[in-house]
Structure 1
Amino acid sequence: MPHAMKRLFELPVHFENAARSWLEHGERTPAAPRLASSVVLIKDTPDGMSVWLGYRGDSSPLGVVSFPGGSVDEHDDDPMPWLGPSPAQWAESLGTTDVALARRHVVAAIRELFEETGVLLAGPDASSTATVTNPQEWMAAREAIAAHEKTLADVLDRRGLALRTDLLRPLVHWLSPDFAHRRFDTRYFAATLPLGQEPKLLASKGQWGRWVCAPRLLAERSGSALGDEIDQDTTRGRTLGQLLVPGVEIILEKLGNAKGCVAYLSHKRSTHAYQPRLVEADGRLRLEVEPPSPPATTVLPVIPHD
């Protein structure tokens, strides 16, 4: 099997100052990464798979434009009703022996998705999901979580809901580059949009977010249509590669080539941790991503015939 090639990506605009400082002052001890989770929310459309993207600002380690997500919170360790794969099963899926860490990432993924989009992967039982009967109350619960006035456990308890961890699928593990001032150790998950729910920006924080057709977005990646639409100083005139971190760009590429949500979610993925490395190519600073090494193959001895 041929080895996968290293790939070079554009250096996102918000990384430029940190990258140049790293080179000018010499490599030093990287900042400790914060644990984070992010959810790739997807749905099938006649034109291909669509994904929910949002503007995150110019300093987010997840990228200027990215999927819902953010830092793991201390309350992600709170006891909560749980349906679906156990934390131990999640640890195995995520390639770690730390069961508490795996649980933390799963809870953070569900919490961040709810806070940022209002999509809640929870239900009263293992065969149904929560429905939005009062949009104002739903938004108030999200705002309370964002303001650290309530926890996800509070929201679930009030409504008699349990986490539906079976609605998540593990995707990939990414580490921010060493030179970044703010770094994340991010676990990406995927989920389809539950019946009866629809993403909506958080009233107090949301600036831009919408469903984006992955194949169409990739076909226009060399232009600045998306950045111009978002209409922020750090997005106008920028190409897709200048708005996204490599992990997000690669996920979008795979979405663009996938044959629908079922095929995408059922694909078996490596637990390898990816980390972009700063390199100079053609006189420009780039981010290099090295794929995981292929699994070693066992060569059986040749046994001579009598």
Structure 2
Amino acid sequence: MVPEDFTGPPVEPRDAATVVLLRDGAAGVEVFLLRRVTGMAFAGGMTVFPGGGVDRRDADTSVAWSGPSPSWWATRFDCPVELATALVCAAVRETFEESGVLLAGPSADSVVADTSGYGAAREALVARELSLAQFLAAEGLVLRADLLRPWANWVTPAEEPRRYDTRFFAAVLPEGQIADGVTTEASDAAWQRPADALADWKAGRRALMPPTWMTLAEVDELGSTAAVLAEPREVSKIIPKVVREGGALRVVMP
């Protein structure tokens, strides 16, 4: 929520990761969406993709890793290698915490088919009693960075009191896994076609922030998980601006 007077210096944005989780449904590509609990300090009541802020332990280089290296991700997101490591780990961790989907496997070329046995670890991750690296090491699992694709980089407008520098990833639901949306941060969760989610937004049934509706529109245009994964993306920072027109606030896209 933008304060009445937002003339002060901008708040330094916190690094965050968001994952656009996809699957192919009978009528086309579908996305996994969470409706954040009303009253939360940031984006309360909004419909979002799984994601959240980077934890300092996400930068742990001891994590077993398969796929593009941290330096590859650093180039794609134009950030230091240490931060790139943390962003990928945060993406995997937050997706598991908020949806139960785990982008990891017992080997570099396999992925967990059933995550129900990791319920206690999931709760410990949410409570910050366990780091992602500790969890994967204890279970003998390898992080599958190759299951993620770089998608976008959105930064909260400078006028906002809470700001995030969020890197967006795209990933397909691994075969056999179920996205459950069991998280205290969401009031409901569902798979939905992007076009239907956008229609709900226009009809007032969903509240979407610019990064979410823009991403939904892009995924809808591509139409399938294969097309999304194959889409070449040049990622650069997108920073919307909030302007006041009379008594109303309007978000202006760059």
Q: TM-score, normalised by structure 1?
A: 0.77
Cα distance between partner residues in 2 of 1:272 and 1:107: 20
Stretches of 4+ aligned residues off by more than 6 angstroms: none
- Give the 3 Å change call, closer, same or farther, for CA 171–65 of structure 1 in structure 2: same
Deviation at 1:202, TM superposition (A): 2.8
Consecutive unaligned residues in structure 1, runs of 5 or more: 1-14, 226-239, 291-306
Q: Distance in 1 between matches of 2:192 and 2:204?
A: 14
In 1, Cα distance between equivalents of 2:186 and 2:213: 22
Partner of 1:294: none
Q: In the alignment, what sits opposite 1:51?
A: 31
> What does the per-residue CA deviation read over 1:194-238, in whole Å, with 9 as the maximum and x for residues that have no partner?
01111112355542111111122223432133xxxxxxxxxxxxx
Root-mean-square deviation over aligned CA pairs: 1.9
Question: Structure 2 matches for 1:213-232, cutoff 5 A?
Answer: 213-225=193-205
Deviation at 1:149, TM superposition (A): 1.3
Q: Match for residue 130 of structure 1?
A: 112
Correspondence for 2:73: 90
Structure 2 CA distance for aligned equivalents of residues 201 and 220 of structure 1: 19
Identity, in percent, stands at 38
Q: Cα offset for 1:184? A: 0.4
Query: CA 1:105–1:61 in structure 2 vs 1: closer, same or farther (change >3 Å)?
Result: farther
Selected match of 1:148 from 121, 128, 140: 128
After superposition, the C-alpha distances for 1:120-172 in whole angstroms (9 at most, x for unaligned) are 10112232101326x2x422211111111111122211221110000000000
What are the superposed Cα offsets for residues 43-95 of structure 1, whole Å, 9 maximum, x if unpaired? 11122211111122343259722011111001102220000011111111223
- For 1:63 and 1:71, the matched residues in 2 are separated by 18
Cα 1:218–1:263, aligned 2, differ >3 Å: closer, same or farther? same
Structure 2 runs not aligned, ≥5 long: none
Deviates more, 1:270-279 or 1:53-62: 53-62
Aligned length: 251
Q: TM-score, normalised by structure 2?
A: 0.92
Equivalents in 2 of 1:51, 1:220: separation in Å?
14
Specify the alignment match of 1:272 in structure 2: 236
Identify, as 1 or 2, the structure richer in strand: 2
Whichever of the two has the greater Rg, that structure is 1
